[in-house]
Structure 1
Amino acid sequence: MSTILKEYQVKFTNQNVKINASDLDFQCWEKANCLTDFCSPWNTDPFSKIEFRALWDFDNLYFNFKVFDGDIHIDQKDDSIDSIGNSDRVELFFRKNEAMSPYYCLEMDTAARIMDFEAFPNHNFDFKWNWPRTDLKLEASKEDGFFTVQGKISMASLKALDLIHNNTIETGVFRAKFSEKADSQYEATWISWVNPNTETPNFHIASSFGRFVLIE
């Protein structure tokens, strides 16, 4: 029996959606549904508001994260996976089905760096795999009190990876927030659109996914 998944409706657009991470060019996003119901089931501390929007046309899936947080931690010692993994970021995961074999992960920080990889159950990650750069564009900006991460993913690449079924894309939407503690170490708060109902933070599990429904 299939699990009933949380749903977000992605509206169709015939506008030219510009990916420039500028709040000054927000008109094209006004049509999009605004997703704000994020949770952090493993941490009782409040976290900054997150607004997520998505649109689509016949060429691309467009997405826009706006996070109302002016205190951003970014590890810029290099552009390695470890560096991005130790930085504040937003994340989109896509899967073919509940078996998650495989699924695809995009983890994106406020410097527009991308940690992308193919994944399999039990935290089996292939970091040598990358989303084709011709099929993915990303921009980010940091403003006073918030940051934005915008991007577009080609519909051709989503179809090539067998991720669209009946105008639906099974998707996880996440954020990692790093806060400095008394010992100058940073600790992550893990934030998810869907509560995966796990004892400890885990986005790499079937119960952390919802459905993006492409509507016209």
Structure 2
Amino acid sequence: MKKPFKMNNIFNQFILSFTVILLLASCGESPPSKLTIPYSEKDIQVDGVIDSEEWSQAAIIEKLIAPWENDATDKTLLKAFVSSNYFNFSFQVWDQTLVTIPFERELSVAAGDRVELFFSSDSTLAKYYCIEMDPNGNVLDYSAEHYREFNESWDFKNINVATEITDKGYSVEGRIPLAELNELGISTPFYLGVFRADFKKPQSKDISWYSWIKPQNPTPDFHIPSAFAQTKFEAPIK
């Protein structure tokens, strides 16, 4: 006697396989909702040159997304790790329309190409801290409170940044003492924003705004909670 044909089992297997395929296909397209920054005993030489050996154990964020340009992506590489005393970070930016502005004051940085790191102790952005760095190594840093209440007189005490302009774009390398971040309430876990402004030409409103996380806003804005992701520092192995 023949066994009855079990259509339900075949259908269920098909649905399961199709779901797995969709999940695998989407894995490479969506940024993680959380980031773990690894620990390394190495110290970097802050010179703007992204040496592969120095950064071999770093976490890597590949490509940033332009949410307001149909989710276009760039080739930016962010690398980050913590050592005994520092949060270390580097950017490699591909940019063929490099726009730099003569530095007169900190806000000059906001008029040209730059990369940015924002730090908040929680997801409300009740108090957060921002660093914007241009291809020439100039820094605009300030504290802020949600929504868009900026204290431009505030500065990091000990940030160290170096840059290099290349034929493909520019690189930024830097570090911040962990002790200073801890004083600001930025201890693991915290919330991190990673951004880039790409000007097409000087004094133009033709700007591409890139972010690690896709902010949930109809117009360009990085100063909102949805532009940040939870981040933690990996503890050293004892």
Q: TM-score, normalised by structure 1?
A: 0.88
| Higher strand residue share | 1
Distance 1:190 1:177 in 2: 6
Does residue 87 of structure 1 match 2:90? no
Pairing partner for 2:88 from 51, 56, 62: 62
Secondary structure in structure 1 of the residue aligned to 2:220: coil
Distance 1:93 1:151 in 2: 14
Match of 1:31 in 2: 57
Pairing partner for 1:19 from 31, 46, 54: 46
After TM superposition, the runs of 4+ consecutive aligned structure 1 residues lying more than 4 A away are none
| 8 Å CA contact retained: 2:63, 2:75 | no
Match of 2:224 in 1: 205
Secondary structure in structure 2 of the residue aligned to 1:129: coil
Distance 1:114 1:20, change over 3 A: same
- 1:46 is displaced (CA, Å) by 4.5
Does residue 74 of structure 1 match 2:100? yes
Query: How many residues are treated as equivalent by the alignment?
Result: 204
Secondary structure in structure 1 of the residue aligned to 2:92: strand
Structure having the higher Rg = 2
Distance 2:226 2:72 in 1: 23
- 1:211 is displaced (CA, Å) by 2.2
| 8 Å CA contact retained: 2:97, 2:201 | no
Secondary structure in structure 2 of the residue aligned to 1:141: strand
Structure 1, unpaired ranges of 5+: none
Distance 2:77 2:208 in 1: 17
Match of 1:176 in 2: 197
Structure 2, unpaired ranges of 5+: 1-31
- 1:170 is displaced (CA, Å) by 1.1
- 1:8 is displaced (CA, Å) by 2.0
Alignment of 1:1-216 (within 5 A): 6-23=33-50, 25-44=51-70, 46=72, 48-76=74-102, 78-132=103-157, 135-164=158-187, 167-180=188-201, 185-215=204-234, 216=236
Q: CA RMSD in A?
A: 1.8
- 1:152 is displaced (CA, Å) by 0.2
| 8 Å CA contact retained: 1:48, 1:69 | no
Distance 1:92 1:143 in 2: 22
Distance 1:169 1:65 in 2: 20
- 1:42 is displaced (CA, Å) by 0.4
Distance 1:202 1:33, change over 3 A: same
Instruction: Output one character per residue of 1:123-167: Cα deviation in whole Å (capped at 9) or x when no partner.
Output: 1101011111xx210001011113110100000000000111xx3
| 8 Å CA contact retained: 2:65, 2:74 | no
- 1:37 is displaced (CA, Å) by 4.3
The AA in structure 2 aligned to 1:169 is: F
Moved more, 54-63 or 41-50: 41-50
Instruction: Output one character per residue of 1:77-101: Cα deviation in whole Å (capped at 9) or x when no partner.
Output: x332442111100000001112212
The AA in structure 2 aligned to 1:122 is: Y
The AA in structure 2 aligned to 1:44 is: N
Match of 2:3 in 1: none
